[in-house]
Amino acid sequence: MERESIEYDVVIVGGGPSGLASACKLKQLNPNLSVCLLEKGSEIGSHILSGAVFEPKTLFDLFPDDAKDCPTLKTPVAKDDLFWLTGENKSIKVPSWLMPKSLHNKGNYIISLGELCQWISEKAMELGVDIFPGFPAQSYLKDESGRVIGISTGDMGIDKEGNQKGTYTPGMDILAKQTIFAEGARGHLGKQLIREFNLDEGKTPQHFAIGFKEVWEVDNDNHSPGDVVHTMGWPLNKGTTGGGFLYHFDNKRVAVGLIVDLNYTNPSHSPFQEFQQFKKHPKIKQFLDSGKRVSYGARAITKGGINSLVKMDFNGGMIIGCDAGTLNPSKIKGSHCALQSGILAAEYIHKILNEEICDFDDLFKGSSLYQELYKSRNFSAAMHKFGFYVGAAYNFIESNIFRNALPFTIKDEQRDCDSLNLNNPLYAKEYPAPDNVLSFDITSSLFLSGTNHEEDQPVHLKLTDPSIPLTRNKELFDEPAQRYCPAGVYEIIDKEGEDYFQINAQNCLHCKTCDIKDPSQNINWTPPEGGGGPNYIGM
């Protein structure tokens, strides 16, 4: 069987908010453009995970007539609380006037981003975009001049050893005048493009966090749709920053989650376990009592802000949304920024396809997205550099007193993979066993993520040097992959009396944390056979 190829004007990799927005905007600007969008998840939204409190303005900019009918926008934020959890049972409510301005959510909605993406994808199809879920872009294609000219989808029907099975189906080349990469945080093609085209030249290294989320169905009197709770502090402590959230939405559903910055230092730290502990705090527990957990998921988040935002255009294409790093870390919101970056990319590509002279940097610097990101440029870096207390105080002073107008920029030059201290039994963390009421183990959690992969296929988590997990990583850091992976993919097991590094690739949630945090930068996340991965519903 031969590889086939097809040509489009624009091909978009990734069916999240940024990719879908650029697809819609392109068709709105020129209905004659042929636009194709590929999504690795089995359906649009099945790999999407976000809090999410959503700022709707950009959605109304994109769909001025239809956005009001979007069924996802049904739970407006009613109340905004911020708690500083000072201990296992203790907390202090942060008064509204002390809250950083960026954390006020008036006018925003509590949504499921997956459901929003499904709605936008219906709009995109109405506009004539060809959407193909279940097909990851495996690699990008270049011509002799080095220009990106499209992508290639992966082959299907390859067995564990790399041989063709009876069901072997070759991938396909999709060629395009412009290719937009919108894979989300730490996209595997985005990572290669950034390196190949030096898109991060002069930028500080990108910073990431891992976000956990569960949806609970609750049956108690404390449920109040529209209420938003954010927390800082416990269970995260010295050397670890991040924060928790709990949102009440419709149908007696509550979204609860914890975001853990990936520049944590203690190699025995387990973000998954921290999240399980977090739910036991009285400020959180009261809303989950007599409830039932219905879904679980985890995903890396880009949070370096504008200091780490890569150059978004290159020869033959664009990189947008969280793939580039457009999330606003001071608001901990990325969806509206992703939509905006998608719209900007579409406007730029529409111009250059019409052979108008246009500089993307000028377009970007004139945009409200740039204004917003520039204002919050010091937020993450201050947290990282000064630690939680001083960082938080700095951010309050900068945002509420100086209104983000301070004339300097704080930078954090350390990569997240370089932050781990050496393993020290003195600081080893122990976590209590799951109580199966509020806290659970990874196996039962994974079941609720719906993740599934064809078993007989090559391992999609590739080690550059297969010996490193059991040598350098084990000796120096007790192989932290065993703890930072939210899906229990990495295990050191005993095999006939010897240590064996096992990769349970079929458990993978596609969160990309291993690709980011491995202290030896030895793990490469690549896309598995099409359609594999989590099946998030309403996340």
Partner 1 sequence: MKIIIPVKRVLDPYTQARVNNQTQQVDLTNAKMAMNPFCEIAVEEALTLKESGSASETIAVSIGTDKTVDTLRTALAMGVDRAIFVKTDSELDLQPLHVAKILANIIKREEAQLVIMGKQAVDNDNNQTGQMLSGLIDYSLGTFISKFDLSADASSVEVCREIDSGIETRKLNLPAIVTVDLRLNEPRYASLPNIMKARSKPLETIELSSLEIDTAPRIKVVSVEESGTKDRASKQISSAEELFNELNQMGVL
Min CB(375)–partner 1 separation in Å: 36
* Cis peptide, bond prior to residue 469, ω within 30 of zero: no
Q: Does 11 bind partner 1 (CB under 8 A)?
A: no
Q: Does 526 bind partner 1 (CB under 8 A)?
A: no
DSSP secondary structure string, 36-65?
A: EEEESSSSTTTT-----EE--HHHHHH-TT
Min CB(422)–partner 1 separation in Å: 36
Q: Does 445 bind partner 1 (CB under 8 A)?
A: no
Q: Which of residues 452-511 bind partner 1 (CB under 8 A)?
A: 452
Coil, strand or helix at 249: strand
**Using CB under 8 A as the criterion, what x/- string covers residues 162-191 for binding partner 1?**
----xx-xxxx-------------------
| Residue number, 114 or 244, with CB nearest to partner 1 | 114
**Using CB under 8 A as the criterion, what x/- string covers residues 279-298 for binding partner 1?**
---------------x----
Q: Does 42 bind partner 1 (CB under 8 A)?
A: yes
User: Of these, 9, 61, 66, 130, which contacts partner 1 (CB under 8 A)?
Assistant: 130
Q: Does 313 bind partner 1 (CB under 8 A)?
A: no
| Residue number, 71 or 407, with CB nearest to partner 1 | 71
User: Of these, 445, 513, 522, 535, which contacts partner 1 (CB under 8 A)?
Assistant: 535
Q: Does 135 bind partner 1 (CB under 8 A)?
A: yes
Q: Residue 301 corresponds to which tokens in the numbers above?
A: 């988040």
Min CB(35)–partner 1 separation in Å: 14
Q: Residue 279 corresponds to which tokens in the numbers above?
A: 């739910």
Q: How far apart are CA 331 and CA 499, in angstroms?
A: 44
Q: Which stretch binds partner 1 (CB under 8 A): 37-45, 230-238, 242-250, 409-417?
A: 37-45
Give the C-alpha distances (Å, rounded to integers) separating 514 from 469, 485, 489, 518. Answer: 12, 7, 10, 5
| Residue number, 440 or 484, with CB nearest to partner 1 | 440
Min CB(130)–partner 1 separation in Å: 8
| Residue number, 294 or 393, with CB nearest to partner 1 | 294
Q: Does 152 bind partner 1 (CB under 8 A)?
A: no
Query: At CA 284, angle to CA 283 and CA 288, rounded to 5?
Result: 135
Q: How far apart are CA 17 and CA 12, in angstroms?
A: 12
Distance of CA 57 to the CA centre of its chain: 21
Q: Do the Cβ atoms of 203 and 150 come closer than 8 Å?
A: no
Give the C-alpha distances (Å, rounded to integers) separating 305 from 139, 280, 331, 531. Answer: 27, 31, 11, 31
Q: Which of residues 96-125 bind partner 1 (CB under 8 A)?
A: 114-115, 118
**Using CB under 8 A as the criterion, what x/- string covers residues 52-71 for binding partner 1?**
--------------------
User: Of these, 27, 33, 43, 73, which contacts partner 1 (CB under 8 A)?
Assistant: 43
Total chain residues near partner 1 (CB under 8 A): 31
Q: How far apart are CA 481 and CA 445, in angstroms?
A: 18
Min CB(239)–partner 1 separation in Å: 35
User: Of these, 12, 448, 514, 516, which contacts partner 1 (CB under 8 A)?
Assistant: 448
Sign of CA dihedral 394, 396, 401, 405: positive
Residues present in the chain in total:
539
Sign of CA dihedral 211, 217, 220, 221: positive
Interaxial angle between packed helices 17-29 and 113-126, expressed in degrees from 0 to 180 and rounded to the nearest 10:
20
Q: Does 159 bind partner 1 (CB under 8 A)?
A: no
Q: Does 257 bind partner 1 (CB under 8 A)?
A: no
Q: How far apart are CA 513 and CA 189, in angstroms?
A: 16
Q: How far apart are CA 1 and CA 4, in angstroms?
A: 9
Q: How far apart are CA 312 and CA 324, in angstroms?
A: 7
Q: Could you list the residues that contact partner 1 (CB under 8 A)? A: 4, 6, 42-43, 45-46, 114-115, 118, 130, 132, 135, 153, 156-157, 166-167, 169-172, 294, 436, 444, 447-448, 450, 452, 535, 537-538
